[in-house]
Amino acid sequence: MTPQTDALPTSFTDTAHATPAARISEARRLFWSIRRELWENRAIYIAPLAVAAFILLGFFYSTVRMPAVMLITDTVNGVVTHTSHGIDPILPYTIAAGLLMATTFLVAIFYSLDALYGERRDRSILFWKSLPISDLTVVLSKAAIPLVILPLLTWAVTVATQSIMLLINVTVFHARGIDTGPLHSGLPLTQNSMMLLYHLVAVHALWYAPIWCWFLLVSAWARRTPLLWATLPPIVLGVLEMITLHSGHVFEFLKYRIHGPGDIDFTASHAGATMPMGATMSISPTQFLTTPGLWAGLALAAVFLAAAIQLRRYRNPL
Amino acid sequence: MTTIQATGLHKSYGSSVALNSIDLNVGEGRILGLIGPNGAGKTTLLNAILGLTAYQGELSVLGRNPWTQRDQLMNDVAFVADVAVLPRWMRVSDAIDFVAGIHPRFDRTKAETFLARTTIKRTSKVRELSKGMVAQLHLALVMSIDARLLVLDEPTLGLDILFRKQFYDSLLNDYFDHHLTIVITTHQIDEVQYILTDLLFIDRGNLVFGCSMEDFDTRYLELIVNPGQLPAARALKPIQERQTFGRSILLYDRVPREQLAPLGDIRTPTIADVFVAFVGQPNQPAPYSPPPVPTPSSYTGAAQ
């Protein structure tokens, strides 16, 4: 059969063949791919925003209703101290930061485990693969969510939440006739926000990078239940080691990765006085950057990512 | 210019062979119908062409290796798998924005024009659309890409007859031009018969038959034999014989119409009739074994 070119409507005349197609840079494809991830996984920003709204509501209520005597604080040399009746006014701010961090941490876990699994489960991988985007770009855009987007988003939402809390604090204190002096001079919010940023980048992005990339690898590989495949094998391996070799190297390794090396212990050592990850802040970036475990972890993360990219080439819908 | 060139294209899953060293040549501007029973290797062949599966042998699509250069290849290839692959969470407007953002050959105005003819709302999510609307949306996206190869794998599966008719009309009228090559697989053979330029049957990983539609229309004739003239009809070496309502229907390849006319009623067979003759039903061996296929596992007729 001869194709009927005369049947083509005039509005769709063949002009594109004459003009070479516009070039689209890899950076632009990466940008659109990350945007696409945010469209698909709206929990990435809705979850922290919802928690922030909940925190602000609770904070407002408690600031308005709490007996004035419990809110009065003193400053010594410009630093807020406990009074006999008062609660350290920084504590709600610290709790807010901790809650937001925990929220985005959970979001990162579930996101990473579903990122390369969901597209195979719902067959949409066939649509994505029909478009001129390389597997490298797709996997990098998915890795960018836990490694870049979520830490920065956590920081931004936390800073915004704490700023609004401070505003509520000052306004309510003013209305109730409580001295707002200690709030202005004594709350180390700016300092804390810089420490929070450092913690998020150092621990959540860099130190945990191999965990996120492992989750992505499992989500590219697993035929079902990526959560179990990501968590059970290491645990089973650890138990087997304990039974057969009576040693605990696997669990030591896992603990080191999750908990951090001894001197980068970011769990609350003196909760309330500083941010929950206070101890991390006490170590210098130089000390952190010279920890071999950091670089070993990043190398492992790169291997996991490369494997995930290769797997996505071979994987078809489930 | 050859759009698809395969030499010894082979793919096996464990011990089962999905593609058995296929040779294939499809030229620019052809519309090739790839017909075969379930599990014949159609989708495997298309997946190899689209860079979705690894293979052995040589395969070149638009001068590129699809397995190692899938992302570059997809600048020039459009692909509709079936209606279910558009992500269900996506908004119609997001889908257009995304493809416009990453595809160098996507024409947003065309997509908007196609969508304006439908009742699809920009703010709807794919999951809220009916099956036919999702197909229309996918088609609007694909047809707005100035591709050089369009691959349609069961594009109208599960859609009603009105939509299927509209789909193929639209494909020919709004989209097709001489630079484009189209490869279609479908079970609704008769619906695509009129748009194809070439035909290829695949069975158990082998290309069992291939010819251009011009050839097809002149080569094959079916004879509904008059009772009593069956021996004479059989002497003309039909490639297949079957019984319908007590009468024998014989299929001939390259037997002149004048020779058949005295023996009964002549009609032009459909693709489905010839398909059955070549691929056959494994449970009922045909009374006549088909003659050897001229070029087994190889088809170069479409390269023109």
Cβ pair A32:B70 closer than 8 A: no
Per-residue confidence (pLDDT) for residue A288, from 0 to 100:
80
Per-residue confidence (pLDDT) for residue A75, from 0 to 100:
57
Of A74-88, A251-265, B283-297, the range with the highest mean pLDDT is: A251-265
Q: Which residues of A touch B195 (CB under 8 A)?
A: 1
Between CA B257 and CA B98 the distance in angstroms is: 56
Q: Are strands B264-267 and B220-225 parallel, antiparallel or unpaired?
A: antiparallel
Q: Which residues of A touch B88 (CB under 8 A)?
A: 122, 124
> Could you name the CATH architecture of B2-214?
3-Layer(aba) Sandwich (3.40)
Per-residue confidence (pLDDT) for residue B140, from 0 to 100:
87
> In which band, very low, low, confident or very high, does the pLDDT at A195 lie, cut at 50, 70 and 90?
confident
* Higher pLDDT, residue A171 or A144: A144
Per-residue confidence (pLDDT) for residue B60, from 0 to 100:
94
Residue that is written with structure tokens 């035929």 in the block: A223
> In which band, very low, low, confident or very high, does the pLDDT at A85 lie, cut at 50, 70 and 90?
low
Between CA B297 and CA B174 the distance in angstroms is: 34
Task: Write down the ipTM of this complex.
Answer: 0.84
Q: Which residues of B touch A31 (CB under 8 A)?
A: 101
Per-residue confidence (pLDDT) for residue A6, from 0 to 100:
34
Pick the residue from chain B with its C-alpha nearest to A134.
B71
Per-residue confidence (pLDDT) for residue A17, from 0 to 100:
45
Residue that is written with structure tokens 């009228």 in the block: B173
Question: Considering only A45-49, A154-158, A231-235, B275-279, which range has the smallest mean pLDDT?
Answer: B275-279
Give me A9's structure tokens. 């409507």
A246 touches chain B (CB under 8 A): no
Per-residue confidence (pLDDT) for residue A221, from 0 to 100:
94
Cβ pair A7:B29 closer than 8 A: no
Per-residue confidence (pLDDT) for residue A78, from 0 to 100:
54
- Is A276's pLDDT higher than 90? no
Task: Report the C-alpha dihedral over residues A303, A305, A307, A311, rounded to 10 degrees.
Answer: 180
> In which band, very low, low, confident or very high, does the pLDDT at A80 lie, cut at 50, 70 and 90?
low
A121 touches chain B (CB under 8 A): no
pLDDT tens for B182-207 read 999 888 888 888 888 999 988 888 88
Cβ pair A1:B195 closer than 8 A: yes
> In which band, very low, low, confident or very high, does the pLDDT at A69 lie, cut at 50, 70 and 90?
low
Per-residue confidence (pLDDT) for residue A265, from 0 to 100:
42
Q: What is the pLDDT along chain B (304 residues), one digit of tens a residue?
A: 789 999 999 999 888 888 888 899 999 889 999 988 888 888 899 999 999 999 999 999 999 999 999 999 999 999 887 766 899 999 999 999 999 999 999 999 999 988 998 899 999 999 999 888 888 898 889 889 999 999 988 887 777 888 888 888 888 887 777 788 999 988 888 888 888 899 998 888 888 888 888 888 888 888 888 888 888 888 888 888 888 887 888 888 888 888 888 888 888 888 888 888 887 654 444 444 444 444 444 566 555 4
Between CA A297 and CA A212 the distance in angstroms is: 11
Please say whether the beta carbons of A41 and A111 come within 8 A: yes
Distances in Å between the Cα of B216 and the Cα atoms of A185, B19, B184, B198, B212 are: 90, 25, 17, 9, 6
Please say whether the beta carbons of B52 and A316 come within 8 A: yes
Mutate to test the interface with B, among A19, A114, A127, A134 (most CBs of B within 10 A): A127
Per-residue confidence (pLDDT) for residue A87, from 0 to 100:
65
Per-residue confidence (pLDDT) for residue B264, from 0 to 100:
86
A38 touches chain B (CB under 8 A): no
Cβ pair B172:A3 closer than 8 A: yes
- Is A29's pLDDT higher than 90? yes
- Is A316's pLDDT higher than 50? yes
Where are the domains positioned within chain B? Answer: 2-214, 217-292
Per-residue confidence (pLDDT) for residue B81, from 0 to 100:
79
Measure A309 CA to nearest chain B CA, in Å.
13
- Across chain A, mean pLDDT equals 81
- Is A15's pLDDT higher than 70? no
pLDDT tens for A107-138 read 999 999 999 999 999 889 999 999 999 999 99
Cβ pair B98:A124 closer than 8 A: no
Burial class from Cβ neighbours inside 10 Å (0-12, 13-18, 19+) for residue A214 reads: buried
Contacts from A189-194 at CB under 8 Å and sequence distance 24+? Answer: A189/A93, A189/A162, A189/A163, A192/A90, A192/A93, A192/A94, A192/A97, A192/A162, A192/A274, A192/A275, A193/A155, A193/A158, A193/A159, A193/A162
Burial class from Cβ neighbours inside 10 Å (0-12, 13-18, 19+) for residue B38 reads: exposed
In this structure, is the dihedral angle defined by the CA atoms of residues A257, A260, A262 and A264, taken in order, positive or negative?
positive
Question: Considering only A205-214, A226-235, B50-59, B257-266, which range has the smallest mean pLDDT?
Answer: B257-266
Q: What is the DSSP code (8-state) at residue B130?
A: -
Measure A42 CA to nearest chain B CA, in Å.
10
- Is A11's pLDDT higher than 50? no
